[in-house]
Homo-oligomer: A and B are copies of this chain.
Amino acid sequence: MKFNYKQMETLFKPKSVAIFGATPKSEKVGNVIIKNFIEEKYQGKIYPINPKYDEVLGIKCYKNINQIKEKIDLAIFAIPSKYIPLAFEQSAKKGVKSAIIISGGFKEAGHKDYEDKIKELSAKYNILVVGPNCLGVLDPYSNVDSIFLPMYKMQRPSKGNISFVTQSGAVAACLVDMIADQGIGLSKFISYGNAAVLNESDFLEFLANDKKTDIIILYIEGTTDGRQLLNTMKKVSKKKPIIVLKAGRGKKGSQTAHSHTGNLAGNYLAYQAAFRQAKVIEANDLDELFDFVKIFNQPLPKGKRIGVITDGGGLGVLTADNIEKYRMELADLTEDMKKKLNQILPFYASVNNPLDMAADAGFEEYEGTIEVFMNDPQIDILIIIVLFQAPAVDERILNLLIKYSNDKRKPIAVVASGGSYTKMYAKILDTNHVPVYDAPSSAVKAVMKMYKYSKFRGKIRK
């Protein structure tokens, strides 16, 4: 089946949705899903399908899809796998354009026959399929949400420009939950599980052309088509950064992955080579993935020279250590810059890079020094460390960081580490597209990844 952009859109903004397995019984997958559509105010029509009920959560319920007179764009399946081939065929004949199969119990559990049937029907009737054995789709713009994890347990992100393609549901749930909690927005989320029909490459290609997506995350254990994946990644990463987390890297890990979604994780070295060739940004774990994604809302740097501003000496030292470790550069301060900085800071401050303003630095010191660093061509990237614990630091510094981050002159990364007070401020920054890190190493690693991507995109000054 060929990839069709317009048809793909029916997964993300369908005019009508049929939910197989919708039920009033809470804790059932089909209950969580229909609740999502109701509570998140999905604007299209909802058709619960369950032979046991005439009504589910106040909405008329159908015995089967044939009873529905209106057209259905999207069918979501949350019923045992053995019932799915028939229900799918009925949906196909009814003219459904796309399907999300949440249920497991297919290839990964020894039922290749069910999965083959879906493939066959999908090809015959031209139906796009996400899954089986997945969380499906989440789109904060249309409020399509087939994630069967209750909203009070897993937060949903606001509208944003990051899209996420993922093989595993669990990893995805954790990351989306983290993103939402941090106030970061999402464009589209696709958990595709066994990839019976649509695979990671199809989604990457779709997202490359999606206007609401600027940054793409990919979590992958194994692919069914490595050649297609390499070619797609190559094409897409020229337009948008792709950040990838590959699981099943080791021998044991790849065996584990096989029993998880039934796909071979393959040789990690081959994947690594492909990632390098395609200039895809690789993360080593969930936390790194999260760290790397945030930085790409900043403008790409024109070089690798970093200016560090801090009100805590030790944090400046740790940042300098990591700049050396990750082969970035601490910018040299010109005499002109030093003069300007000396006018802003008290006489006892040592004007160097990292610029340690000491714990009594407040709004004026941050504003003055950031402005100097922003204007000087010696500085390509700013890392700004703020001890929100310090008495002299107040809310105005938030405004300052948001302002400088949004004027997009140079990329900024902020380091703010601490407890609930600091986390509250960090969330405000993240919500406003200022990337915040709780350790200097995380900030430096993220800007290093961005620098490399900038080089690939030809943005480095000659």
Binding site for B on A (CB under 8 A): 27, 29, 32, 104-105, 109, 148-150, 152-155, 167-175, 177-178, 180-181, 219, 221, 245, 247-253, 255-257, 259-261, 265, 284-288, 310-318, 320-325, 330, 348, 350, 352, 354, 356, 358-359, 387-392, 417-423, 438-442
Q: Which residue in B105, B256, B358, B391 is a CB contact (below 8 Å) of A27?
A: B391
Given A252-B324, A392-B27, A314-B247 contact (CB < 8 Å)? yes
Are B389 and A174 in contact, CB atoms less than 8 angstroms apart? yes
A356 to B133, CA, bound (A): 14
A350 proximity list for chain B (CB < 8 A): 259
Are B419 and A155 in contact, CB atoms less than 8 angstroms apart? yes
A261 to B352, CA, bound (A): 15
A390 proximity list for chain B (CB < 8 A): 149, 153
Given A247-B318, A352-B256, A439-B287, A313-B418 contact (CB < 8 Å)? no
Are A170 and B320 in contact, CB atoms less than 8 angstroms apart? no
Q: Which 3 A-B pairs have the closest CB atoms?
A: A170-B312, A168-B314, A181-B419
Are B284 and A441 in contact, CB atoms less than 8 angstroms apart? yes
A322 proximity list for chain B (CB < 8 A): 285
Q: Which residue in B260, B285, B310, B389 is a CB contact (below 8 Å) of A153?
A: B389
Give 17 CB contacts A-B under 8 Å. Answer: A105-B348, A109-B348, A149-B389, A150-B389, A150-B391, A153-B389, A153-B391, A154-B421, A168-B315, A169-B359, A171-B312, A173-B387, A247-B321, A248-B317, A250-B324, A252-B324, A259-B356
Are B287 and A318 in contact, CB atoms less than 8 angstroms apart? no
A150 proximity list for chain B (CB < 8 A): 389, 391
**Residue ID in chain B nearest A193 by CB atoms:** B313
A373 to B240, CA, bound (A): 45
A174 proximity list for chain B (CB < 8 A): 312, 315, 387, 389, 417-418, 422, 438
**Residue ID in chain B nearest A32 by CB atoms:** B391
A172 proximity list for chain B (CB < 8 A): 314
How many Å from the CB of A351 to the closest CB on chain B?
10
Are B318 and A286 in contact, CB atoms less than 8 angstroms apart? yes
Are A253 and B317 in contact, CB atoms less than 8 angstroms apart? yes
A249 proximity list for chain B (CB < 8 A): 321, 324-325
